[in-house]
Amino acid sequence: MIEWVSLSSGTRPVPRPVATPLVWATAVGGALLVTFLNASVGPDRPGIALAALSLLAAILGVYASFTAAPGTAVLCWLFLNGFAIPPAGTLSWTGHRDTFWLACLLTAALIGTALARLTHARAAYRSITAATAAATELYDDLDAP
C-alpha cells in the first residue's frame, strides 16, 4: 500500500535558504567593509575590490536562494562603482568595464548558490539512501523466519 507523506513535515534534509532581505543587508555591510579596505589599499586598484566583492558574493550565495543572486551582484557593483574607483561617491557606467564587473559578481553569486545546492542535495540523497537502506534491512529482518 502507498502511504502519502507531506514532504514539509519533520526534519528537512536540505536547509532552507536565508531570507533575501537579510542576504542583501549583509551584502551592503560587507560591501561597506570592502570599500574601507579598498580606501586603505588605494582607490586606484579596483581589481582588489572586485576580487573581494566577488568572494563576498560567492559566500553570500552559499546561504541565499537563486533569486537573491542578481540583487546581491547589483548591490556589490553599486559599492564597487560608487566608492572603489575615483571619483568616490559618483556612479558612472563605462560599458565594457561595468558589464564585466557585473558579470563577475553575478557569476560568483550564482556559483556560490549552485555549489551550496549541490552539496545540500548530495547530503540529502545520502541521508535518504541510508534511511531507505536501514528501513529495508529492518523489514528484511521482520520477514525472516
Distances (CA, A) of 73 to 98, 116, 131, 135: 12, 17, 39, 45
Instruction: Name the percent of the chain lying above pLDDT 90.
Output: 44
pTM here is 0.78
Predicted confidence band of residue 89 (pLDDT cuts 50, 70, 90): confident
* Res 99: pLDDT: 95
Yes or no: say if 42 and 12 are a contact pair by the CB < 8 Å rule: no
> pLDDT of 26-75, one tens digit each?
999 999 999 888 888 887 788 889 999 999 999 999 999 999 999 999 99
